Amino acid sequence: MTMNVDVITREVIRGGLEYIAEEMGIILRNAAYSTNIKERMDHSCALFDHEGRMIAQAEHIPVHLGAMPIAVRSIEKKFEGEIYPGDSFILNDPYLGGTHLPDITIITPIFFKDVLAGYSVSRAHHDDIGGMAPGSMPGNATEIFQEGLRIPPIKLVSKGEISKDILNLIMTNSRTPKIRKGDLMAQLSSNWTGEKRLQELIAQKGMKTYKLAVDDILNYSERRFLSILSGFPECEAVGKDYMDGDGIVDDLVELFVNVKMTKKHVTFDFTGTSEQVKGAINCPYAVTLSGSYYVLRAITDPTIPANEGLYRHLSVIVPEGTILNARSPAAVVGGNVETSQRIVDTLLKAFSKILPDRIPAASQGTMNNLIIGGTDRSGRPFTFYETIGGGAGGRPTKDGIDGIHSHMTNTMNTPIEEIEVRYPLVVEKYALREDSCGNGRFRGGLGIIRQFRTKVPVVVSVLGERQKTAPWGLAGGEDGKKGIYSVIKSDGKKIILPGKTTTTVNAEEIIVIETPGGGAWGEWKKRTEKSKEEDKSNGKVKEV
């Protein structure tokens, strides 16, 4: 008897698994409470097989996805022999499979007739999980204990029974307890949907066929990956880039990678990267892996199904104790959102030497995290969190895109009308930042200006980058403009904020976020007159 499923069945099951992951994402979004999930879609969902291998994911947030397998592994390890039907596990500890504390992961084992068949996993960014600043993204934290409630892998649901004590503990530690509960329930709802659908699929196809098909699906991705790799040159190249600073010490922090490509394997060796730092830009290994997975997918073929098979021939080497593989209890909240962007820049810099016609200039290289927290006029505490897009890098064939999120994130903005209904804030401006791009044959995208007037005293945390080094151009293209955060005081005076800080802002003062523009690709003298004219008439780029 052959131990293979036919290609047709494999394709049918693959489609089915992807569909399940997508449906999980929709359920989570629709049932969620927080603006961050429901309006911005800051969440991701995936399915794993019984061996903890990722078999399908919904395309949501790249930084979430790479780190998920480590989370599943940590559950398997810690709860070996204690995983039962009806259980669900929860964790957010970056040192045990999480990314940073606000990202809470829920993992539900899926059983078919009492046999473990896989896991449904959802990860969502919660807008407050305690700690020293509202929004749990303090730009000035120096150890993880300041960043919020740390949840090791624990059982949240035991044989169908939700632990009220754990829920209560989490709610008590959050400034917005009701919203926490709503969002956690939405995550559970999503996982249960994944569970139900996978059970249905297995019931239809049979456990044996399902397992064989899964092996085959993973091998299929591997095959497609290798077929692309065989068309790439065998070579080595290095990339280097910098973080502005860690929010505590003002020095640049270096990221370094050596990329080695053969026809069979790719190695990203980050040896040479800075030691871990005091401030909150350290990454757990999981985040470095996410950045590496992202780049690998983007430079090969994004249509290859993303699963364990795709990443079999990638090694990511990061010495322990560096900012890309930090040791506990280093503060990490900015690693996930900021350093992850620089990991991509550093890798792309190396790849621009290997595959010059496929790599864009640097995009804004930050997520511009903004958290505004306080108490509204009715005495209700609130936390508003969002990330703001900027310029994307110019590309070897066309301009970069204006005002958009790039690389490791893809969250939506919050509608102004939603902000103003929910929070004591007035948005005064939301516009493209004129002349902020790098100019060149293909210019970078423009950054964004977003301006808030607060009606009550608030605590503002910003966590951003590219205020000291600019998003770089390629092939003779100019760098993009750096970002600027500031507060306009009631007397009209403008105070520039550091890129990573927590500060108080008085009622009627204005917070201004100007995000970086993208770097350009190619020399300015090669830009067509038509493009120059168009930019000028649209007021995007004036005379250069």
Helix (H, G, I), strand (E, B) or coil at 309: helix
Q: Is 119 in the site for another protein (CB under 8 A)?
A: no
Q: How far is the CB of 156 from another protein (least distance, A)?
A: 14
Q: For residue 349, give the nearest of 359, 341, 339 by alpha carbon.
A: 359
Given candidates 264, 398, 494, 526, which one binds another protein under the rule CB under 8 A? 398
Residues numbered 192 to 211 that lie near another protein (CB under 8 A) are: 192-193, 197
Q: Is 391 in the site for another protein (CB under 8 A)?
A: no
Segment holding 13, helix H or strand E: helix 7-31
Q: How far is the CB of 258 from another protein (least distance, A)?
A: 22
Beta-sheet pairing, 484-488 with 510-514: antiparallel
Q: Is 11 in the site for another protein (CB under 8 A)?
A: yes
The Cα angle at residue 516 between residues 505 and 41, in degrees rounded to 5: 75
CA distance 447 to 402: 7
Given candidates 132, 166, 185, 314, which one binds another protein under the rule CB under 8 A? 185
Q: Which is nearer to another protein, 108 or 282 (CB)?
A: 108
Binding mask 228-267 for another protein (x = CB under 8 A): x---------------------------------------
Considering only the stretches 69-77, 246-254, 394-402, 502-510, report the one whose residues sit in contact with another protein under the rule CB under 8 A: 394-402
Given candidates 52, 62, 245, 480, which one binds another protein under the rule CB under 8 A? 62
Given candidates 56, 98, 540, 541, which one binds another protein under the rule CB under 8 A? 540
Q: For residue 345, give the nearest of 324, 331, 366 by alpha carbon.
A: 366
CA distance 193 to 69: 20
Considering only the stretches 79-87, 175-183, 473-481, 498-506, report the one whose residues sit in contact with another protein under the rule CB under 8 A: 175-183
Q: How far is the CB of 421 from another protein (least distance, A)?
A: 5
Residues numbered 410 to 469 that lie near another protein (CB under 8 A) are: 410-413, 415-418, 420-421, 426-432, 448, 451
Cis peptide before 177 (omega within 30 of 0): no
Q: For residue 460, give the nearest of 517, 505, 523 by alpha carbon.
A: 505
| Token reading at 327 | 């040791």
Considering only the stretches 69-77, 134-142, 478-486, 536-544, report the one whose residues sit in contact with another protein under the rule CB under 8 A: 536-544
Treating both helix axes as pointing N-terminal to C-terminal, what angle do 177-205 and 207-229 enclose, rounded to 10 degrees? 100
Question: Are 488 and 453 spatial neighbours (Cβ–Cβ below 8 Å)?
Answer: no
Q: How far is the CB of 408 from another protein (least distance, A)?
A: 10
Given candidates 78, 240, 358, 489, which one binds another protein under the rule CB under 8 A? 358
Q: For residue 466, give the nearest of 372, 352, 341, 351 by alpha carbon.
A: 341
